Amino acid sequence: MPETQTVAEVVEIPVQNVHPNPNNPRDEIPGEDESIAQLAGEIETMGQLIPCLVYPRAGEPGEYELWDGYRRRLAVLHAGLPALRCIVVEESKRADLEQLEVMLSTGRNHRQLSALEEAKGFQQMLALGLNESTIGKKFKQPKRIITAKAKVLEQPESVQAQYNAGQLDIDALIKLQRLAETRPEIAERVNDTVERFPHWARDVDRLIAQHKVAAAQETKGAELEALGAKTGHEVRSGSPEFYGFEPVPQPEDGDHLTAEQHVTAGHQFAIEAPSDVDGEAEVRWYRKAKKASSSKPEMSEDELTQQTLFRRLNQQLPVSADTRHRHMISKITEAKALDAATDKAMLMELVDQNVIRPQNEQLLADVTGIPMPVQDAGTGDYDPQLWSRKQEWFEKIRAKLATWSWGSLVRLWIYSQHRPEDKKLAKAQAWDPKNIDNRVQWMNRIQTDFGYRFDEHETEVVRHFQTKRSDLIQGNPKRYRVKVQH
């Protein structure tokens, strides 16, 4: 007869008597967390279907610690229910390692661990006697990754935060850990930089190399400069050959020049980044390269024929170019048009290139009265048809402007070029003539060429700054004086 199977007894325990395990690597989830609120709603509707696992607290009758069920406990608290359905496990049957494995699991009833929570759990497992290989097999991760993650909490808080946020990958973290063991002073510099913005492994390689070069410059570089050695941009540029320098050759017998001998020979030094991230910055010496004499290859028959042709043409083409230039000058200065349609087409070409542009969309809509197409309101989605509608709109703008007079087109062109400056004049500070752009010239031009007259507020701000900057204006009135037209 088969043996009878017993089912573990489920009991209800007041929720305030069930406490989080202090060794749980998972951080407490805020009660207002959306997933907890959703679980709380399910428990209110269907009840707590899966009981929590708890064990008695030593020396505290009626008090329990959680083994499994952190989210369920928080959901019951969130729902305001009085009791938690639990299975009580005897203390003698539990083991710290077994608890940790449950706490580190990411099954159906657990949320995904954060990077720091996982690191804390691996660190605790190592402290309890497991080795990296065993932990790696349990969690299907390579040994080197387990080792690196378990040491995360030894890194500065800034590095921990970047890693936990996913802005520093595991390979970068391993490089920083190795650097902290071999060159702690460089690691401190790199960590300070990493704190300010995210980096991946390739960026950390570059950062380590940069800081090793900087540190070597402060030590080796300073020593060499004290001896009179020179280092210029040409040899520090990374392309010394471009500036006519070459590396000083090293003798095969290994009898290298001393620093003093390099200085005497007039060589320049550069502190160069290590070729490998674990290497050290090195001093390299450069000298002015000797110009090598090279014989030109013989020219083919076709090349010789072309050279003869070009030599003959080059005697006459400058005369042709001068004649062409004088013809263009005469046509430009000729009072009458070459052809009205041609001249208008050339003007429209300039307007098309300089005015009909995305940054002038609102201005073009204002002057032509053709409404500008916009994103469909209320959808919040990207409108794939907007681009094609804008292209159609630009074509309508071109067609409308082609009917305008030359004068209107020229005025539009000039205004579009100065519109950014004009917009700034909506603030009093912008009327200060010390601004380095052409705003003063524009203030004068809108009065003389466009016939605009300043109102009382504009006149007031002009006079304020003309008084305040009187010395500046007196020194260069053409550039800084605004003449108010009446």
Tokens 């003449």 appear where? 483
Give the three-class secondary structure for 128: coil
Tokens 């400058």 appear where? 318
Nearest alpha carbon to residue 249 among 203, 285, 223: 285
Q: Where are the domains positioned within the chain?
A: 8-113, 206-249+259-288, 340-374+384-414, 425-480
**The model's pTM:** 0.43
Tell me the per-residue pLDDT of 174-192, one tens digit each, with 9 for 90 and over: 888 888 888 888 888 888 7
3-state secondary structure 254-274: CCCCCHHHHHHCCCEEEEECC
Q: Which residues of 244-256 are buried (b: 16+ CB within 10 A; e: fewer)?
A: ebeebeeeeeeee
Tokens 């083919």 appear where? 300
Instruction: Name the class of domain 8-113.
Output: alpha beta
Least confident of 120-124, 283-287, 416-420: 120-124
Q: Which amino acid is at 121?
A: G
Q: What confidence category does residue 4 fall into, taking pLDDT thresholds of 50, 70 and 90?
A: very low
State yes or no: pLDDT of 61 exceeds 60.
Answer: yes
What's the half-sphere exposure (Cβ side, CA atoms, 13 Å) at 464? Answer: 11
Tell me the per-residue pLDDT of 261-303, one tens digit each, with 9 for 90 and over: 888 888 998 888 777 777 888 888 899 887 666 666 888 888 8
The gap from C-alpha 219 to its chain's centroid, in whole angstroms, comes to 32
Contact 272, 240 (CB under 8 A): no
**First CA to last CA distance, the chain:** 117
C-alpha 222/C-alpha 224 separation (Å) is 5
Tell me the per-residue pLDDT of 10-54, one tens digit each, with 9 for 90 and over: 899 999 999 887 777 666 554 446 778 888 888 888 888 888 888
Nearest alpha carbon to residue 366 among 403, 419, 427, 439: 419
Least confident of 196-200, 301-305, 384-388: 196-200
C-alpha 162/C-alpha 392 separation (Å) is 47
Q: Residue 96: what pLDDT?
A: 61
- Averaged pLDDT, 404-412: 88
3-state secondary structure 351-410: HHHHCCCHHHHHHHHHHHCCCCCCCCCCCCCCCCCHHHHHHHHHHHHHHHHCCCCHHHHH
Q: What confidence category does residue 395 fall into, taking pLDDT thresholds of 50, 70 and 90?
A: very high
- Averaged pLDDT, 291-319: 77
Q: Which amino acid is at 210?
A: Q
The gap from C-alpha 318 to its chain's centroid, in whole angstroms, comes to 52
Give the three-class secondary structure for 482: coil
Token digits for 346?
């050339």
Task: Give bridge partners of residue 269 from the DSSP assignment.
Answer: 285
Contact 290, 245 (CB under 8 A): no
**Which residues 6+ apart lie within 8 Å of 371 measured at CB?**
365
How many other C-beta atoms lie within 10 A of the C-beta of residue 12? 13
**Which residues 6+ apart lie within 8 Å of 142 measured at CB?**
136
